[in-house]
Structure 1
Amino acid sequence: MKIVAVSGSMNPESTTRQAVAIVMKAAIEAGAHAELIHLGDWKLPLYDCRTDESTYPEAVHRFRERIKNADGLILGSPQYHGSLSGCLKNALDFIGGKELEGKFVALVGTSGGAMGATNTLNTLNEICRNLHAWPLPSTPSVPRSYEAFLPDGTLKDIQLQKRLEGLGRQLVQVMDRCGERIPVG
């Protein structure tokens, strides 16, 4: 079972990347193979609705192929102005239902504020459903993410650490139990 984890941040010291890494590590420990895509390391152009998609740079084709070949996904985003990051929205604009249909998706958010990334997670949930994916019901959020992590990359809040780890395990369990994908339609 192959999982692609996408960190929707351009920040090289991203707390979203750290949160996604916790979920991904738990998925690996539960038996999955996983790959991390940190959007800050990818050179995706702005999505511009080209009629000839072959003219997009190689990074776009690699990104699409990785998502298409994944059995499940982990999507993480910081909360920017009450929604997901622009780079994650842009990356998701390059893919569609043919890449996501029937796949299970674990969602995680981070925010600088005390309320967490609730709006971001709700928006990601809607996007996944519109692309015929199956977002998991548990959507943990890391509030005050700038001060939430220890130097080793784990969370100071042990209960929140356990929730993120549980999300990674749950993704593998649900994919295993349901045969990795559920046909839509």
Structure 2
Amino acid sequence: MKIVIISGSNREGASTTLLSAYVGQVLTEKGAEVTLVDLYKQPVPLYSPDPSVVEDENLVHMKQAVMEADGIILATPEYHGAMSGVLKNALDHMDAQYVDGKVVLSMSSAGGAVGVSSLQQLQTVVRNLHGVNCPEWISIGGAGRTFNEQGEPETLQIRERILRTVTYFLSMTETFRKSV
């Protein structure tokens, strides 16, 4: 099963990217083929509806990874109660052909306790792209955004929550993949 993770932070060493990498490890251990699109290392140009705009290498890579994926994970920091601008910009480059009928898991890393506003916004965008929102989501905040040297969340409770959610997401993705 192919899963793409789009990490929507534009800061080196961001907890959003650490979370994305950890979830990628968990997915790989469960047998998934994972592509991580790190928008800090692979930025995409500002979206323009002008059809004459030439797509750059990072944008082509991201769109191809999403097109080929069976399931999608979107990860964002929460800035002022919203998803990051870089993730929203990346999603603006896509239309329904990329996401239609695919299960999408939303994740947030917030400075406060949880990042619910950004997760709700992500789910709205996913619905508009005809994706299927996973009813579970992952939100880490405050001290829960600390990772150890092995790249794992330091808190056992967060690792267990991630494992449960990723297992549910994979099961749901497998079910939807078989039905299309």
Could you tell me which runs of 5 or more consecutive residues in structure 2 were left unpaired when the two chains were aligned.
none
- Identity in percent: 30
2:33 is matched with 33
Deviation at residue 147 of structure 1 after TM alignment: 5.2
Distance 2:145 2:97 in 1: 39
2:122 is matched with 124
1:99 is matched with 98
**1:76-128 alpha-carbon deviations (Å, 9 max, x no partner):** 000011000000000000011000000011111001112x1100001001111
2:177 is matched with 179
TM-score where L is the length of structure 1: 0.90
Pairs within 5 Å for 1:1-185: 1-53=1-53, 55-114=54-113, 116-144=114-142, 148-179=146-177
Query: For 1:179, what is the secondary structure of its paired residue?
Result: helix
Distance 1:30 1:147 in 2: 23
Query: For 2:47, what is the secondary structure of its paired residue?
Result: coil
Query: For 1:161, what is the secondary structure of its paired residue?
Result: helix
**1:16-63 alpha-carbon deviations (Å, 9 max, x no partner):** 01112222222222221111111001131110211225x222322222
Cα contact 1:142–1:148 (8 A) shared by 2: no
* Cα distance change, pair 109–69 in 1 and its aligned pair in 2 (3 A): same
Query: For 1:41, what is the secondary structure of its paired residue?
Result: coil
Cα contact 2:144–2:154 (8 A) shared by 1: no
- Structure 1 stretches (4+) deviating beyond 6 angstroms? none
Query: For 1:6, what is the secondary structure of its paired residue?
Result: strand
TM-score where L is the length of structure 2: 0.92
Cα contact 1:44–1:91 (8 A) shared by 2: yes
**Counterpart amino acid of 1:32?**
A
RMSD of the TM alignment (CA)?
A: 1.7
**Counterpart amino acid of 1:62?**
H
**Counterpart amino acid of 2:63?**
R
Moved more, 94-103 or 34-43: 34-43
Cα contact 2:39–2:86 (8 A) shared by 1: yes
More RCO (CA 8 Å, sep 6+): 1
Q: How many residues align?
A: 180
Cα contact 2:144–2:155 (8 A) shared by 1: no
